[in-house]
Amino acid sequence: MTEPPLPGVPAGAAPLRLRGRTFGADHPVVMAVVNRTPDSFYAAARHGADAVDAAVDRAVAEGADVLDVGGVRAGRGPVVDEAEEIARVLPVVERVRARYPDLLVSVDTWRAGVARAAADAGADLLNDTWAGHDPALVEVAAERGLGVVCSHTGGATPRSDPFRVTYPAPDGVDPLDGVVVDVERTLTASAARAVALGVDPASVLVDATLDFGKTTWHSLHLLRNTPKLVHIGHPVLVAISRKDVVGETLDLPPEDRLEGTLAATAVAAWLGARVFRVHDVAATRRALDMVAAIRGERAPLRALRGLL
């Protein structure tokens, strides 16, 4: 039995529901990154066709709730057309669905054509990291009964890097608040469109999309303002794993960003975020379960000290 939340503990985000399964406050959701890209910014996340099954098995064994399969590097790199993206992603979705029937599968794409193919293969969630660049993608989610991630890029187009990004702030407030206002407005509108089209509100996730169309200062400010995203009323997704916001803050390369990632993850969880897209499943699972216990939302698995 869990304890009631302590006074002053920030409210948690709305429950997440995918394929009839509901995740509440007692079960923070770990979304494991499974890339089929040969040029991911984090070398350990580059999984060729001969290694992806082992990566999936490891993520499942370490406690992943959702697998997020991607076929195109987020940043600049060689062109990957829709046919190649489908060829990279679909075999993974199909094998995961066959080998782990109960596991939830997400596909990281901005293309409606890839989304349709993923739906046919058995995907449960469409992770649109480029903020509706293809407006038909959310329509696929609604038509096929899938969940969808509504993201924010400040108008940046797919696979572009931010350059001297600014967000005008209201007069008399912290200049950085401009990005918070823009993110709140964009995500509220995107989520409302998804619901209006027929997506289950509990299957609509909102993601500030750190690093995308943002400076490191922007991303840090958004993290500390996570409660404002929670108040939008949908499950909040945080994708910070080994990103540049961590690397620039600590001046570290991707392979040395685990501790910074876990610190940011714990803060976001304390502030009410629900879903966490990560490369390091086991470490994140433990960190999140600990935060949930401190928040009073999850009971210790074993509590004998001082009782025996």
Active-site residue list:
243, 277
The dihedral of CA 229, 232, 236, 241: what is its sign? negative
108 forms beta bridges with 70, 127
Q: Tokens 């996730």 identify what position?
A: 205
Of 94, 164, 151, 82, nearest to 123 by C-alpha is: 94
Q: State how far the Cα of 235 lies from the Cα of 218, in Å rounded to an integer.
A: 21
| CA-angle at 69, arms to 125 and 183, nearest 5° | 60
Structure-token pair, residue 30: 């770990």
Kindly report the backbone phi and psi dihedral angles of residue 231, in degrees, each rounded to the nearest multiple of 5, phi listed first. Answer: -70, -10
Q: Residue 208's closest CA among 165, 234, 232, 239?
A: 239
Burial class (CB within 10 angstroms; exposed 0-12, middle 13-18, buried 19+) of 170: exposed
Name the DSSP class of 76.
S
